[in-house]
Chains A and B, each alone.
Chain A
Amino acid sequence: MDDVSSGLKSRGLRIFSHFGVPKQLGSGVKGVSDIHPAIIRLGLLFSEFKICGANARCIATLSAFKTVIQDYTTPPNTTLARHLMTYISPQITYLVSARPMSVTMGNAIRQLKLEISGSDIDLPEQDAKDELCQTIDNYIRDRIIIADEVIQDLAGKKIKDGDVVLTFSRSSLVQKILLHAHAEGKRFSVIVIDSRPLNEGKALLKALTSVNPPLPCTYALLSALPSLITEATTVFLGAHSLHSNGAVYSRAGTAIVAMMAKAHGIPVVVSCETYKYSESVMLDGFGKNELAPAKFSPSDPKPNLMLEVLNPLYDVTPPTSITAVVTEVGMIPPSSISSIPLALGVATL
Chain B
Amino acid sequence: MPALISPSARFDIRSAYSRILQNEQISTPVAAILALVELMENTTAGTMFELVQELKDGAETLKHQSSNSISLNAGTELFIEFVTLFPHEASSFLELKTELIRQGHQYVTEALTYRDKIAQLAFDFIKDGSVILTHSYSRVVMQTLLWAHKRKRISVFVTEARPRGLGIKTAEMLAAAGIPSTVILDSAVAYSMDMVDFVLVGSEAVVESGGLINAVGSNQIAIIAKAANKPFYALAESYKFHRLFPLSQYDLPTHNSKLLSFSVPRGRAHRNSTAKPPTTLPGSSLGSSAVAGVKDSDPPASIKISQEQIARNNPDVDYTRPDLISLVFSDVGSLTPEGVSQYLVGMFAG
Residues of A within 8 A of B (CB): 158, 234, 265, 267, 269, 323-324, 329-333, 335-336, 338-339, 342-343, 345
**Of A267, A339, A343, which one neighbours B247 at CB under 8 angstroms?**
A267
Bound complex: CA A267 to CA B319 (Å): 14
Do A330 and B345 have beta carbons less than 8 Å apart?
A: yes
Do A333 and B341 have beta carbons less than 8 Å apart?
A: yes
B251: A residues at CB distance < 8 A: 158, 267
B339: A residues at CB distance < 8 A: 336
Bound complex: CA A324 to CA B210 (Å): 11
Do B208 and A345 have beta carbons less than 8 Å apart?
A: no
Do B349 and A345 have beta carbons less than 8 Å apart?
A: yes
| Contact bitstring B198-215, A, C-beta under 8 A = 1, else 0 | 000000000011100000
Do A333 and B210 have beta carbons less than 8 Å apart?
A: yes
Do A323 and B247 have beta carbons less than 8 Å apart?
A: yes
Q: Assuming the A-B contacts A158-B251, A324-B209, A339-B341, are A330 and B346 also in contact, with contact meaning beta carbons closer than 8 angstroms in the complex?
A: no
Nearest-neighbor residue (CB-CB) of B251 within chain A: A158
For chain B, what secondary structure do more than half of its interface residues adopt (helix, strand, loop), or is it mixed? helix
Q: Kindly state whether residue B15 has any CB partner on chain A within 8 Å.
A: no
Bound complex: CA A339 to CA B339 (Å): 10
Nearest-neighbor residue (CB-CB) of B248 within chain A: A267
B245: A residues at CB distance < 8 A: 324, 331-333
Do B247 and A336 have beta carbons less than 8 Å apart?
A: no
Do B247 and A332 have beta carbons less than 8 Å apart?
A: no
Name 9 A/B residue pairs within 8 A (Cβ), A-sorted: A332-B345, A333-B245, A333-B341, A336-B210, A336-B341, A339-B342, A339-B346, A342-B342, A342-B349
| Contact bitstring B230-254, A, C-beta under 8 A = 1, else 0 | 0000000000000101011001000
Bound complex: CA A323 to CA B208 (Å): 12
For chain A, what secondary structure do more than half of its interface residues adopt (helix, strand, loop), or is it mixed? mixed
**Of B208, B210, B338, which one neighbours A331 at CB under 8 angstroms?**
B208
Bound complex: CA A324 to CA B322 (Å): 12
Do B247 and A324 have beta carbons less than 8 Å apart?
A: yes
Q: Assuming the A-B contacts A339-B341, A339-B346, are A333 and B322 also in contact, with contact meaning beta carbons closer than 8 angstroms in the complex?
A: yes
Do B322 and A336 have beta carbons less than 8 Å apart?
A: no
Least distance between A19 CB and chain B CB atoms (Å): 34
| Most chain A CB within a 10 A radius of its CB, from B209, B210, B322 | B209
Do B338 and A336 have beta carbons less than 8 Å apart?
A: yes
The 8 closest A-B pairs by CB, nearest first: A267-B247, A336-B341, A335-B338, A331-B245, A339-B345, A339-B342, A333-B209, A343-B345
Bound complex: CA A330 to CA B338 (Å): 15
A234: B residues at CB distance < 8 A: 247
CB under 8 Å from chain A, chain B span 63-112: none
Bound complex: CA A336 to CA B208 (Å): 10
| Most chain B CB within a 10 A radius of its CB, from A267, A336, A343, A345 | A336
Do B345 and A336 have beta carbons less than 8 Å apart?
A: yes
CB under 8 Å from chain A, chain B span 27-65: none
Bound complex: CA A323 to CA B341 (Å): 13
Bound complex: CA A343 to CA B342 (Å): 9
Do A158 and B247 have beta carbons less than 8 Å apart?
A: yes
Least distance between A92 CB and chain B CB atoms (Å): 33
Least distance between B206 CB and chain A CB atoms (Å): 12
Bound complex: CA A345 to CA B345 (Å): 11
Do B208 and A342 have beta carbons less than 8 Å apart?
A: no
Do A329 and B345 have beta carbons less than 8 Å apart?
A: yes
B337: A residues at CB distance < 8 A: 333, 335
Known: A323-B209, A339-B342; 12 extra A-B contacts, CB below 8 A, are A267-B247, A324-B209, A324-B247, A329-B349, A330-B208, A332-B245, A333-B208, A333-B245, A333-B322, A333-B338, A336-B341, A343-B349
